[in-house]
Amino acid sequence: MYIITVKLSKTSMLHIFSHRNKKEMIHKCLTNLLVSCTLWLLPSDYFAVIINQNYLIETKFFPLFLSSVAEVQDVVFVIQSQKNSYHTHRAEQRRTELLHQAQTLNQSSPDVVLLHKLSDYDGNWSILPALPRLASQYCQTSLWIVFLEEETNVNLHNLLQVLSKFNTRKEWFLGRPLHDDEPTIIHHYAFSEDPSSFSYPDFMAGWALSCPLAKRTAERVNYEPPKSDFTIDLQHEIALYIWEEGRGPALTVVNEFCSELQRLSSTGDCATTINTFLSACGNPVQKEDVFVAVKTCQRFHGDRVPLVKQTWEKDAASLEYYSDFTDPYIPTIHLGVPNTERGHCQKTFAILKRFASGVVTQAPWLLIVDDDTLISLPRLWRLLGCYDPNEAVSVGERYGYGLSRDGYSYITGGGGMVFSRVAVQNILAGGCGCHSSDAPDDMVLGMCLTTLGLPVTHSPLFHQARPQDYVKELLARQSPISFHKHWNINPVAVYQHWLKEPNQRRAHSLTKTREEL
């Protein structure tokens, strides 16, 4: 976009307007016999081109900034897409909608980047590894990088109005703020004295970086990686990295980045809204299509296993408990693998082999959970309706390790790991295995999937921790599939409040009433 600054003779008044045809504007300047005409080229607006009455051209520094109406070509949109075919389709839908809106506004088509296609590196989802390429490729011609999730809707007209309020020569980090109500393990108990003092963006509502900030952050990534090797809650970790312990900008609140559903009447001024919290993908899979493997040990046969039976076990069509001790009353199956205090890699691979053999089940899906995982199987069936079991699908809550230096992604085990039969077959055929019996099974599987070039698919509906470890606002708009850990909670109450389907609650209430009568 070109900004033409016209300075009137003998006055200090400045007329600012946007125009794409700089020749026409220069002609207007000259034919109106003005003292000077300043042509401001964006985004590299550090110099002004001066054309005086004698048709002489000179350049000089022009320090004054004046805001202008943003145009579509000032913005590059980055959709935080995933490699799986379902998620790629959703991202392409968002891209098509953006292009259609630009056409409706009589503007040129914007750059829309699908993050998983930016390069071959699967770790680009963690943003920082992708930022150098994004900044170098797009910040030469654009002023903003706007990040969207697959279910983020954009009102392009409103978004451009919002962005036009900000000085694009400054560093801006824009978004809808979230904050922790109490210190949480998923954020490493950061800001424990006052967790609400730090704001981070709600990714689903969209967020934006001005190109000066994007370029400086991209340069910093090359010599100063994040302090932690683990990527757990990306939106919090991105905000921490940009904030740089107070040396960088904090999140600027933009109320027009909305977390409400698009269909609500109150979203007229929103620049972004949310399409859906749980996509309707047609019919859910049949309960017989999911084989459930519960990892346990003799130590927890008396407390954790009864809680599984009391809550979600009855929804499973096919389920086995795998332990270090055969207990016919549960019953449990001993796979010949000794129990370990942590990791359980050898046990998990024994489960994969048992499932792949086809002796126990021919189900197309395998769910592996811990004995302290709380899960809604009906919601899982609905989610799996979105995926093709003929693909190598691995889905759950995605974490990352060492992603700033060619690391890998993995499905964190506590929230539940779901694999298609095809994925299990590929893992075993690929020669993957445990370097020790107590190696962390989820991380070993992540390394394996990365080595084999198979995608690790994220769903925010799985949770590695307890409900109180997550922002209430985020949980309130979800239909969560899982939580993990019994520490300082009532597991039955958590299951009934967060995971039990409404019709199941009503049935439970009626049964209880009959018993009381």
Q: What is the pLDDT of residue 173?
A: 98
Give Dmax over CA atoms of the chain in angstroms: 100
List strand residue ranges (DSSP E) for 42-164, in order. 47-52, 57-61, 75-79, 111-114, 144-148, 152-154
Tell me the C-alpha distance between 502 and 202, whole Å.
Answer: 27
Q: What is the pLDDT of residue 249?
A: 97
First to last CA, the chain: 75
Q: What is the pLDDT of residue 28?
A: 54
Which residues neighbour 298 within 8 Å (Cβ) at sequence distance 6 or greater? 323, 324, 325, 327, 339
Kindly give the confidence (pLDDT) of every residue in the chain, 517 residues in length, as a single tens digit, with 9 standing for 90 and above.
Answer: 444 443 333 222 333 333 344 445 555 554 554 444 544 444 433 334 444 444 444 433 333 344 455 799 999 999 999 999 999 999 999 999 999 999 999 999 999 999 999 999 999 999 999 999 999 999 999 999 999 999 999 999 999 999 999 999 999 999 999 999 999 999 999 999 999 999 999 999 999 999 999 999 999 999 999 999 999 999 999 999 999 999 999 999 999 999 888 767 577 899 999 987 666 687 999 999 999 999 999 999 999 999 999 999 999 999 999 999 999 999 999 999 888 877 789 999 999 999 999 999 999 999 999 999 999 999 999 999 999 999 999 999 999 999 998 999 999 999 999 999 999 999 999 999 999 988 999 999 999 999 999 999 999 999 999 999 999 999 988 999 999 999 999 999 999 999 998 876 544 443 443 444 3
Helix residue ranges per DSSP H, 178-300:
211-223, 234-243
Q: Which residue has the tokens 């995608």?
A: 455
Which residues neighbour 516 within 8 Å (Cβ) at sequence distance 6 or greater? none
| Burial class of residue 364, CB neighbours in 10 A (0-12, 13-18, 19+) | buried
Are residues 62 and 47 in contact, defined by beta-carbon separation less than 8 angstroms?
yes
Q: What is the pLDDT of residue 120?
A: 93
Q: What is the pLDDT of residue 190?
A: 93
- What pTM value is reported for the model? 0.85
Tell me the C-alpha distance between 259 and 271, whole Å.
Answer: 10
Tell me the C-alpha distance between 363 and 272, whole Å.
Answer: 40
Helix residue ranges per DSSP H, 124-210:
131-138, 156-163
Residue 157 Cα distances to 230, 263, 506, angstroms: 38, 18, 45
Which residues neighbour 4 within 8 Å (Cβ) at sequence distance 6 or greater? 17, 18, 19, 22, 25, 29, 37, 38, 39, 40
Per-residue tokens: 253? 């609140």
Rg (CA), the chain: 27
**Phi, then psi, of 288 in degrees rounded to 5:** -70, -15
